[in-house]
Amino acid sequence: MTILKLITAPNSLLKQISQDVTKIDDEFRNFLDDMIETMYYENGVGLAAVQVGVLKRALVMDLDYEIEHHHHHHDHDHNCQNDIRNSNPQYFINPEIIEKDSEQKSFTEGCLSFPEARAEVTRPKSVTVKFLDYFGKERIEHFEGVASTCLQHEIDHLNGITFVDHISKVKRDIILNKMRKYKK
């Protein structure tokens, strides 16, 4: 598996809307596996395809894993050397939120495309999502808590929305200015 290069803010790709996945084959599943490995490598819990430069409606999530050893390579072409335990990777292709809880919950969110930035974001407490799984089977599942927050965050990415779009302009400007300095 390959570690993919992350796209970080203020890259304009993050503001684009991803296209539906029309073909789920071995090549696409390999890409999903690379996304999961990249997410583990970067210590994330969710990753949208756009965050690795691919404008396709796909995301991965794993809230349960632990990293036993982390050999950090700076060359993204090398294979990952993580020893992952308790992994429960989930794959969401063409995900669509079909129901949202009217009750809201705040959570401090971070994002792999905004290194070291965090902000409190308020979102629906739970969501029901329709999606295709790793093998292209249609599923409808209900998510609560951190899983709900993570899925909403990643689905936003597919729609060209980042977590900073949910916070005040002042806080957003502070984070974006920090990102511009971070990139230099």
Domains of the chain: 12-183 (3.90.45.10)
Q: Is 154 a catalytic residue?
A: yes
User: pLDDT tier at 79 (50, 70, 90 boundaries)?
Assistant: very low
Question: Quick one: average pLDDT of 136-163?
Answer: 97
pLDDT value of residue 1: 82
Answer whether residue 37 shows pLDDT above 80.
yes
Task: Give pLDDT, residue 181.
Answer: 80
Please say if the pLDDT value at position 77 is more than 80.
no
User: How many C-beta neighbours within 10 Å does residue 118 have?
Assistant: 12
Question: Band of the pLDDT at 16, cuts 50, 70, 90?
Answer: very high
| Whether pLDDT at 48 is above 50 | yes
| pLDDT at position 65 | 81
